[in-house]
Amino acid sequence: MNARAIDIDVLAQAVRSGERAALARAITLVESTRTDHREQAQQLLLKLTPEPGAALSNRVGITGVPGVGKSTFIDGLGMSLIQQGHRVAVLAVDPSSTRTGGSILGDKTRMARLSLEANAFIRPSPTAGTLGGVAKATRETIALLEAAGYDVILVETVGVGQSEVTVANMVDVFCFLTLARTGDQLQGIKKGVLELADLVAVNKADGKHELEAKGAARELSGALRLIHPHDALWKPPVLTMSGLEGTGLDTFWQTVLDHRRVLTEAGEFAEKRRRQQVDWTWTMVHDQLMRRLADNPNVKSIRGDVESQVRTGALTAALAAERLLDAFDS
Ligand code: GDP
């Protein structure tokens, strides 16, 4: 993006009218780490939010290890939703996507049919370093996409570090895709992801694997019952499906809608989004405070000394922390 002044009003209008080039430009702006771009991005977001259409959108998180069939599934689900009149956006959160080799989430070639659709918009993960940076860009991109009229936002991630928690905190419903595993293999599934999941789907339930998948789904249901209390508002169901054959996709989407209905009826749906906004605000405060602390000249001047005193035991960790914070405050 060049340094010429960007007319934010014009850009906002173009995004609202759904112009793809303008949308891509706006997303590049929110992904940029340049100070002037960051300011312009915030002005743009102010003009575009709150977006009335956002209340109708479905924000769906999808996680699963590489090879589980995420892109095949998203391609199939996305096509079926477009046929029903939806406009579908696919985003990715993958802080490791700078690595060479391996599949890149959100890579258009992974969703061959969807990438050709006028009513689909696919964006790979921003490669701007930290998970915090990727999360910020992705959240802001969701707002842009909703302003541009996309009413289904699919956010995919692989279980790298904290990326699942990050995505779960920015979507309405978080879905875990897995393969048929039973008994001991179940132990291999990260417990954390089962706690986050609102929906579990055993994928590749086709051909000779169909029965096996159904058995695995029953075992997973049992495991989930132990995690979620009996009186929980929503008890995550375990589905079986085949992204390749397109079976179970309708049930998957119906479950997403059921989840929304149950939460809405309990007054929890809008509240969940508001809570996510507030939590997100504090996450950003935390991140920025840490950045300012690290850049603070007073802190910089004593940090080496304080750290070596902690190493020798001359200072307790608590006293050292106090010293660093005092330096920051002064
Ligand atoms: P991703 O890495 O999670 O995005 O997985 P892909 O969608 O790229 O799929 C990985 C491999 O599994 C590919 O060879 C797909 O053809 C295959 N695959 C994907 N979905 C299914 C499915 O539902 N059934 C079967 N049998 N194979 C599948």
Q: Is the CB of 204 under 6 A from ligand 1?
A: yes
Show the domain range for 298.
281-329
Cα–Cα distance between 69 and 143 in angstroms, integer? 27
Question: Checking phi first, is residue 60 left (phi over 0); if not, alpha (psi -120 to 50) or beta?
Answer: beta
Give the amino acid at 140: E
Confidence of residue 6 (pLDDT cuts 50, 70, 90): confident
**What average pLDDT score do residues 275-290 get?**
90
Confidence bin at 131 (pLDDT 50/70/90)? confident
Q: Are residues 249 and 312 in the same domain?
A: no
By alpha-carbon position, which residue is closest to atom 18 of ligand 1? 69
Residue 71: inside a domain, yes or no? yes
Task: Give the Cα separation of 101 and 300 in Å (integer).
Answer: 38
Gap between the Cα atoms of 216 and 242, Å rounded? 14
Same domain, 39 and 62: no
Which of 45-59, 99-113, 138-152, 179-193 shows the highest mean pLDDT?
Answer: 138-152
pTM: predicted TM-score of the whole model, two decimal places: 0.89
In whole numbers, what is the pLDDT of the chain averaged over residues? Answer: 89
Residue 95 Cβ contacting ligand 1 at under 6 Å? no
Question: Do 247 and 222 share a structural domain?
Answer: yes
Helical spans, DSSP H, in 115-248: 131-147, 163-168, 184-187, 191-196, 210-227
CA–centroid distance, residue 279 to ligand 1 (Å): 35
Residue 26's pLDDT band (cuts 50, 70, 90)? very high
276 CA distance to ligand 1 centroid (A)?
Answer: 32
Q: Is the pLDDT at 149 greater than 60, yes or no? A: yes
70 lines ligand 1 (CB under 6 A): yes
pLDDT, position 167: 94
Q: Is 206 in the pocket of ligand 1 (CB under 6 A)?
A: yes
> Given phi > 0 = left and psi -120 to 50 = alpha, else beta, which region is 207?
left
Banded model confidence at residue 108, pLDDT cuts 50, 70, 90: low
Going by the DSSP 8-state scheme, the letter that residue 6 receives in this structure is: P
Determine if ligand 1 sits within 6 Å of the CB of residue 76: no
Residues 6+ apart with CB under 8 A from 237: 199, 200, 221, 255
Best of 94, 202, 244, 249 for a ligand 1 pocket test (most atoms within 8 Å of beta carbon): 244
Same domain assignment for residues 306 and 258 = no
User: Atom 9 of ligand 1 has which residue's CA nearest to it?
Assistant: 69
Per-residue pLDDT tens for 195-219?
999 999 999 999 999 999 999 999 9
Do 200 and 67 share a domain, yes or no? yes
pLDDT reported for residue 107: 63
Residue 276 lies in a domain: no
| Predicted local confidence at residue 60, as pLDDT | 98
- 221, burial (CB in 10 Å: exposed 0-12, middle 13-18, buried 19+): middle
CATH number of the domain that 44 lies in? 1.20.5.170
222 lines ligand 1 (CB under 6 A): no
Centroid of ligand 1 to alpha carbon of 77 (angstroms): 14
Separation CA 129–CA 147 (nearest Å): 26
The pLDDT score that the predictor gives to residue 104 is 55
Both 103 and 206 in a single domain? Answer: yes
Residue 316's pLDDT is 96
Separation between Cα atoms, residue 301 and residue 117, nearest integer Å:
56
Distance CA 93, CA 95 (A): 6
Based on the fold, state whether residues 156 and 305 are members of the same structural domain.
no
Q: What pLDDT does 246 receive? A: 95
CA separation for the pair 145, 24 (Å, rounded)? 10
The ipTM value here is: 0.99
